[in-house]
Amino acid sequence: MSDKSQFLSYGRHFVDADDRKAVDTVLRGDWLTQGDTIARFEATLAEAVGAKYAVAVSNGTAGLHLACLAAGLDKNDRSLTSALTFVASANAGLYCAAQSDVGDIDPQTLCLSADAVKSAVAKHANTKVIIPVHFAGLSADVKAIRAAAPDALIVEDACHALGGQDADGNNVGSCAYSDMVVFSFHPVKPITTAEGGAITTNDKGLYQKLMKLRSHGIERDVPQLMEPDQGMDGGECAPWYYEQQMLGFNYRLTDIQAALGLSQLSKLDRFTQRRREIVKRYDQAFADVNYIKTAQNLPHQRSSSAHHLYLGLFDYMALGLTRTQVMQRLRKRNIGTQVHYIPVYRQPYHKQRLGDVADQFPNTEEYYAQALSLPIFPNMSDDDVERVITAVKELVRQA
């Protein structure tokens, strides 16, 4: 039986004894940060997704920032991301002093549409970086976006999508059609390191730049030095010598977090599998319930999504309830829900720079009016899932 006094959040982490042991081992060792656990985490992540390189960073936002910097985005350029995303995807371009645009979504995938990319590129030839977001874990059509903007660099925001595959079966993170892919390991995400993130790439030049930018712009590798003569000491490069070659940041992950990440990665397949089972059960239960639909119903892609979120589309008018009342009624039964997301252009900060443009985003607006995310996380029991289904069905019955 599901424990009704237990709050079911829309998402949550799963951390077990193995994870705690892995962290404890690092805590008892010599290196809390800048040790070899980070490199092991990076190699394991790169292998898991099928990319050549992975660079671990302090969070997904830092990953997006560094990816845009490594792409060379600056004040003369523009970036473009989905209107339906967490604000970090749009802020990344602004951190580089570029203009940051948002495009409408494809109503089927709820991800940035290739048509929106095509028009943005036609309007602004200086659109240098495109940031498609794999919304709720379902892969955006990066192949079509690449075709729509062949001259742009593509940075996938895969903060929701570790463990998923695209429509062609490529692992998200493999950079099959993109230059870089950014992940987040925030607790509600597919795996967690508490705060944390990573960037994958197949491009050695981008990798070297990302590594430098992550740590103050500092280079220690002798063949990469700009002024090796300055570091020469008795015919060899001094072991203490390093160079700051560009303006970077301290966006490093710690070894403590990397140990947790490694342990979590070993469970990723299990986590993804469980999320897919939960989605199957919800989909089946809501299939013939009035006033509630599920989003992203393309069968092929639905089965390969990482399912970070379970997105319900509610007809609040027909239910005779506001979205807030629906949330409150479910909250009384200890069921948490959330709206993902308020469109970027509706945020006061972004409205100031973009103007009042909601009417230019019909697909995002239509989704936003109905959206409500229901609980999904790997250690939700079958009874927990049934508890949510029963509560939602009762709402509809009372309509």
Ligand X SMILES: Cc1ncc(COP(=O)(O)O)c(C=O)c1O
Residue with Cβ nearer ligand X (85 or 200): 85
C-alpha torsion sign, points 182, 186, 188, 194: positive
304 binds ligand X per the rule CB under 6 A: no
**Closer residue to ligand X in complex, CB, 85/171:** 85
Residue span binding ligand X (CB under 6 A) among the ranges 120-128, 157-165, 269-277, 289-297: 157-165
Residue 137, interface with ligand X (CB under 6 A)?
Answer: no
Is 129 among the residues that bind ligand X (CB under 6 A)?
A: no
User: Which residue of 98, 133, 268, 380 would you call a contact of ligand X, by CB under 6 A?
Assistant: 133
Residue 151: closest CA among 120, 190, 195, 189: 120
Measured from the CB of residue 87, what is the shortest distance to ligand X in angstroms? Answer: 8
Query: What's the longest Cα–Cα distance across the chain?
Result: 84
Is the peptide bond prior to 316 cis by the omega test (within 30 degrees of 0)?
no
Residue nearest to ligand X according to CB distances in the complex: 60
**E-strand stretches of 167-256:** 180-184, 197-201, 218-219, 232-233, 236-237, 243-244
Q: Where are the alpha helices (DSSP H) in the chain?
A: 17-27, 36-49, 60-70, 88-95, 114-123, 142-148, 204-214, 255-265, 268-286, 299-304, 316-319, 323-332, 348-354, 362-370, 382-397
Cα-based distances in Å from 45 to 25, 40, 41, 222: 20, 9, 6, 27
Contact with ligand X (CB under 6 A): which of 11, 164, 197, 248? Answer: 197
Comparison of 23 and 66: residue with beta carbon closer to ligand X: 66
Q: Which is nearer to ligand X, 363 or 381 (CB)?
A: 363
From candidates 186, 212, 252, 276, binder to ligand X by CB under 6 A: 186
The nearest distance, CB 84 to ligand X, in angstroms, is: 9
| H and E: helices and strands count for the chain | 15, 14
Q: Can you tell me the distance from the alpha carbon of 66 to that of 59, in angstroms, rounded to the nearest whole number? A: 11
Among residues 37, 79, 81, 85, the one that binds ligand X under rule CB under 6 A = 85
Q: Would you count residue 364 as binding ligand X (CB under 6 A)?
A: no
- Beta-bridge partners for 250: 215
Q: Does residue 11 touch ligand X according to CB under 6 A?
A: no
Instruction: Verify binding: residue 88, ligand X, rule CB under 6 A.
Output: yes
Residue 194 or 285: the one with the smaller Cβ distance to ligand X is 194
* Element of type H or E holding 364: helix 362-370
Element (H or E) spanning 123, and its range? Answer: helix 114-123
Residue type at 47 in one-letter notation? E
CB of 205 to ligand X, least distance (A): 24
- 61 touches ligand X (CB under 6 A): yes
Cβ pair 386, 4 in contact under 8 A: no
Q: Which span sits near ligand X by CB under 6 A: 80-88, 169-177, 309-317, 357-365?
A: 80-88
Nearer to ligand X among residue 184 and residue 296 (C-beta) = 184
With CB under 6 A as the contact rule, which of the stretches 5-13, 82-90, 111-119, 201-209 interacts with ligand X?
82-90
Q: Find the binder of ligand X among 11, 60, 103, 187 (CB under 6 A).
A: 60
Smallest distance from the beta carbon of 60 to ligand X, in angstroms?
3
Q: Angle 268-286/382-397 helices, nearest 10 degrees?
A: 30
Indicate whether 157 belongs to the interface with ligand X (CB under 6 A).
Answer: yes
**Chain residues in the site for ligand X (CB under 6 A):** 59-61, 85-86, 88-89, 133, 157, 159-160, 184, 186, 197
